[in-house]
Amino acid sequence: MLRTVLMVCCVVVTGTLSAQRVISLNSNGGAVSWKLRPQDETGRDSIQLFAENYSAEDWITAVVPGAVFTSYVEAGIEKDPNFGDNIYQVDKRKYNRNFWYRTLFNTPSFNKEETVWLNFEGINRKGELFLNGHRLGMLDGFMQRGHFNITRLLNRSGKNVLAVLVTYPSTPIPNHQSPTYISSDGWDWMPSVPGLLSGITDDVFLSVTGGVTIVDPWIRTQVPSKDQGVLSVATTLRNVSTKEINGQCIINIQPGNIELHRDFKVAPGATIMASFDSGAYKQLVIKDPKLWWPNGYGDSHLYTCSIKYISEGTVLDSRNIKFGIREYAYDTTGGVFHLSVNGERVFVKGGNWGMSEYLLRCRGAEYDLKVKLHKEMHLNMIRNWIGSVTDEEFYDACDKYGIMVWDDFWLNSHPNLPEDVFAFNKNAVEKIKRLRNHASIAVWCGDNEGDPLPPLNGWLRENINTFDKGDRWYQPNSHSGALTGSGPWTNFQPDWYFTKYPGGFGGNSGWGFRTEIGTAVFTTFESFKKFMPEKDWWPRNDMWDKHFFGKSAANGGPDRYEKSINEHYGTATGIEDFCRKAQLLNIETNKALYEGWQHHMWNDASGVMTWMSQSAYPSFVWQTYDYYYDLNGAYWGVKKACEPVHIQWNPADNAVNVINTSSADARNVTAVAEVYNMDGSLQKKYSERLRSDAPSNASTHFFNIQFTMDNLAYRKAVTASSSPGVFEPALCVADNNTGSRWSSAYNDDEWICIDLGTPTEVASVTLNWEAAYGKAYKLLVATDTTDWREVYHTTNGKGGLETIRFKPVTARYVKMQGIKRATQWGYSLYEMEVYSNKKAETGLSPVHFIKLRLTDTAGKLISDNFYWRGTKPNDYTALNRLPKTKLKISSALSRNEGKAVISASISNSKRSVAFSVQVQAYRKSDGERILPAVMNENYFTLLKGESKNIRITFDEKLLPDGEYFLKAVPYNP
């Protein structure tokens, strides 16, 4: 480093910082302005930049906290990286290097008995710190805290010069440079960021204390029973002065006004532990505590603990800590991971976060908004994937809204250790100490889709046992060890999520506990326009792939997603039509994902987390709300599915269940199912009604809707000569799901057979082949398994979709007997459908609607739900023939405590059905959407005479003049 600079050894300690006086040195809201410049462009200025009179006018204004590249974007030097392929055109050499940060600040007022501290909460990847030309030290790793005693180094008569040399993380990133933002060099959902997110990435501030400081307070809670909470409080007291200090540590806990006092004598330079436990302090056994519960299971109550160290009437240091009284427990009964809170098993409904924002531009209140949207979706867990979110505000919001955190460390299944395992381990300890007071953290996880290599796995386990006392579960691998793997990450037909089993990669088979499973999620057209150049709107092209709808996001299955839209809803005629139809696919797929797991609740299923629930970059994959906070179809599918008390339909067997993921039984509730045709007429013969109980924490079957199926093979028993695949192979040909398939061994003489259950008239068979099809095969039928009759034979099979018609016969068994394969592989079928000449008498239109309602004894609505269903599975093209309709809209605006609320009524007085109505509020001044906003409902359907009350809440600053307009646009406008 800079050998000519005076080297000063300063005490470096760590701790949760919130002292008597705190002065922010952040550029946003702080009292300082930061500048930055590449190290290799400062040349001989490297020494002069420590002088107060050094001119940094040609340096770039820096965003602190933030990344180097973000500062250049904010300065207008780089084009908007969100738009088109701008970020892919950046010359990364400009940013993949070390940078100097520099600022000036005034000396705070303090007396001779006080100590001034310079505090850093995180620098990526390393930071060497200098104050007034004196080297303070090095921070190594983006979670290492720095707490520097700068009292003697301060310039009392002028400005103080603070300079930080930031070393960027070199490539390759995983796992070589950990601890760092592993996705910074690009993933299948965000682009590589120039500079690899190097910078001063967390808060910088000054604090003033007395001679004794409070370091890393720790509050632990136990809940022996719901009417009792047991607390312990401990903190390190460090004497940074040159004399012995006698004082008193005072603890005050609210609500309840619990106050504890204890005298402590601290020798100069010494560190002691001040602890308060329930054995010595009976006040820490709290009767009828206000417990912290995950969202949906109760209120997420928080307490405040004030800790002060007082000597001779002066407060030398203090901390205020929010915490929740709760206790986690875990088991793996039946080989399935289960999580309990306060003695109650919790069914986990969660989402993965990759990053809060891909350029680290999410700060402060924006975390509150993002996490609140998860609460609004009725989720109760967020997975902090590979520890990509480090900001305290994220955890504060999760505490507040009852969102548990599955918290990863910074490893991703690569068979290599970090280059500096000791820095990694030190940061891991820092993370545990910094965050352990948060009620929301439920699981510590070592590695994404892998086990931490030795020695890290043992170190992490021991760190958690030592610094968290085992209060949370340590899960080495995110997709094995009582878990059911991860993925897939592409869309499937709704019944796939209910049918045994939705296959994952790694881990055990079954629903179980799945930490990742998701689907591509395309934006609305209005969001699409904000980041896609008009010349690239349509048809699909390489620019779409820059926003992850192509080969760069192959795991998201964009080809499959597009095919599903075109086949299920009709080939899109342009980008607006594609976006419109995409929202229907988003709704049905994301709703089915959670409902499928909930249907099997505790019957192996214990939790599921979508990949992903939050958007870090303007893209077409893995999100519920998009980058601009447009709550797209996926959001509404998830929100509906995850209601604490929820009525739902199983498309695989037509069962209607009530899912109760709350802590209270739902007594004497009434479930009603009604089926309507496209003209809005009620088909009474399908109506069902039942009053019963829906116990807490259970999936309760109420009744089945009595639909019939044209495809005689649907859900029938299937056998095969072989099935070496990873899915439930034979059953896959009868699940009406082209996302699963049967594949045989690599022999010519292989077969698969459908058992229709009883002798039935059979007149045609449809074979939907995968690429490995039959060149020569025959179809055989029988009423028993000994007397086979050939009804079709070919030596020139074409593959693809083959429909074979023959003279009607009566048969119970229908077999495809292979003769010769078309490829080196076996035979592989997505579906094998069997039909009679007789059309099922249903009385249903090609697409019909299922309305479910659940009410209490007073008739008050608890839950409702709405589905569209085709007489031909997954064929909804008839929706495009719905008559056009027009809606009546009335609304009013109110304001209260900084929030604006639009209360609207949307009504349908026409005879036609208003299907999937999207409501959006706009500013009159510029025609832009009013976003972000929280809404109670969207994409709803209105029959004749029905209306819906909509409430849209947003920050009143988004509508300063109060002038707005609403659009309510159905699918059939």
> What pLDDT score was predicted for residue 1?
31
Amino acid identity of 217? P
What DSSP letter does each residue of 328-350 carry, written as one string?
EEEE-GGG--EEEETTEEE-EEE
Mapped onto helix, strand or coil, the DSSP state of residue 555 is helix
The answer to whether 593 touches 608, Cβ cutoff 8 Å, is yes
> What pLDDT score was predicted for residue 20?
64
Residues 6+ apart with CB under 8 A from 182: 173, 174, 175, 386, 388, 410, 412
Residues 6+ apart with CB under 8 A from 323: 219, 221, 302, 303, 304, 305, 437, 438, 439
Question: Tell me, what DSSP letter sits at residue 538?
Answer: S
> What pLDDT score was predicted for residue 653?
86
As a three-state string, the secondary structure of 572-629 is: CCCHHHHHHHHHHHHHHHHHHHHHHHHHCECCCECEEEEECCCCCCCCCECCCECCCC
Residue 145: Cβ within 10 Å count: 23
Over residues 910-938, mean pLDDT: 97
Amino acid identity of 876? Y
The answer to whether 609 touches 377, Cβ cutoff 8 Å, is no
Residues 6+ apart with CB under 8 A from 864: 647, 851, 852, 853, 854
pLDDT digit string, tens, across residues 301-312: 999 999 999 999
Please state the φ and ψ torsions of residue 35, each to the nearest 5 degrees. -125, 155
> What pLDDT score was predicted for residue 9?
34
> What pLDDT score was predicted for residue 840?
61
Residue 256: Cβ within 10 Å count: 13
Q: Which of 126, 117, 165 is nearest to 11 (CA)?
A: 117
Over residues 70-80, mean pLDDT: 98
Q: Is the pLDDT of residue 910 over 90?
A: no
> What pLDDT score was predicted for residue 644?
98
pLDDT digit string, tens, across residues 502-533: 889 999 999 999 999 999 999 999 999 999 99
> What pLDDT score was predicted for residue 11?
36
Q: Which of 115, 120, 154 is nearest to 25 (CA)?
A: 120
> What pLDDT score was predicted for residue 5?
33
> What pLDDT score was predicted for residue 741?
87
> What pLDDT score was predicted for residue 617?
98
Q: Is the pLDDT of residue 14 over 80?
A: no
> What pLDDT score was predicted for residue 537?
98
Q: Which of 647, 600, 640 is nearest to 624 (CA)?
A: 640
Phi-psi region of 296 (alpha: psi -120 to 50; beta: other; left: phi over 0): left
Q: Is the pLDDT of residue 17 over 80?
A: no
pLDDT digit string, tens, across residues 688-720: 999 999 999 999 999 999 987 778 998 899 999
Amino acid identity of 891? S
Whole-number Å distance between alpha carbons of 930 and 952: 9
Q: Is the pLDDT of residue 317 over 70?
A: yes
The tokens describing 371, both together, are 């996490």
Which residue(s) pair with 239 in the sheet?
Answer: 212
Whole-number Å distance between alpha carbons of 778 and 819: 7
Residue 53: Cβ within 10 Å count: 8
Whole-number Å distance between alpha carbons of 436 and 135: 31
Whole-number Å distance between alpha carbons of 596 and 498: 4
pLDDT digit string, tens, across residues 186-223: 999 999 999 999 999 999 999 999 999 999 999 999 99
> What pLDDT score was predicted for residue 3?
30
The tokens describing 386, both together, are 């590979």
Mapped onto helix, strand or coil, the DSSP state of residue 905 is strand
Whole-number Å distance between alpha carbons of 19 and 22: 6
Q: Is the pLDDT of residue 15 over 50?
A: no
> What pLDDT score was predicted for residue 839?
63
The tokens describing 646, both together, are 């929820």
The tokens describing 53, both together, are 């009179």
51 pLDDT band, cuts 50/70/90, is very high
User: Quick one: what percent of the chain has pLDDT higher than 70?
Assistant: 97
Question: Tell me, what DSSP letter sits at residue 464?
Answer: H
446 pLDDT band, cuts 50/70/90, is very high
pLDDT digit string, tens, across residues 362-412: 999 999 999 999 999 999 999 999 999 999 999 999 999 999 999 999 999
CA atoms 46, 51, 55, 60: torsion sign: positive
Buried b or exposed e, range 646-672, using 16+ CB within 10 angstroms: bbbbbbbebbbbbbbbbbeebeebbbb
Q: Is the pLDDT of residue 662 over 90?
A: yes
Residues 6+ apart with CB under 8 A from 403: 294, 295, 371, 374, 375, 379, 380, 381, 382, 397, 440
Whole-number Å distance between alpha carbons of 178 and 450: 15
User: Over the Cα atoms of the chain, what is R_g?
Assistant: 31
The tokens describing 675, both together, are 């089926």
Whole-number Å distance between alpha carbons of 891 and 512: 45
Average confidence score pLDDT of the chain: 94
Over residues 851-870, mean pLDDT: 98
pLDDT digit string, tens, across residues 943-967: 999 999 999 999 999 999 999 999 9
Q: Is the pLDDT of residue 725 over 80?
A: no
Which residue(s) pair with 135 in the sheet?
Answer: 7, 130
Q: Is the pLDDT of residue 249 over 70?
A: yes
> What pLDDT score was predicted for residue 728?
56
The answer to whether 532 touches 632, Cβ cutoff 8 Å, is no
Whole-number Å distance between alpha carbons of 888 and 892: 14
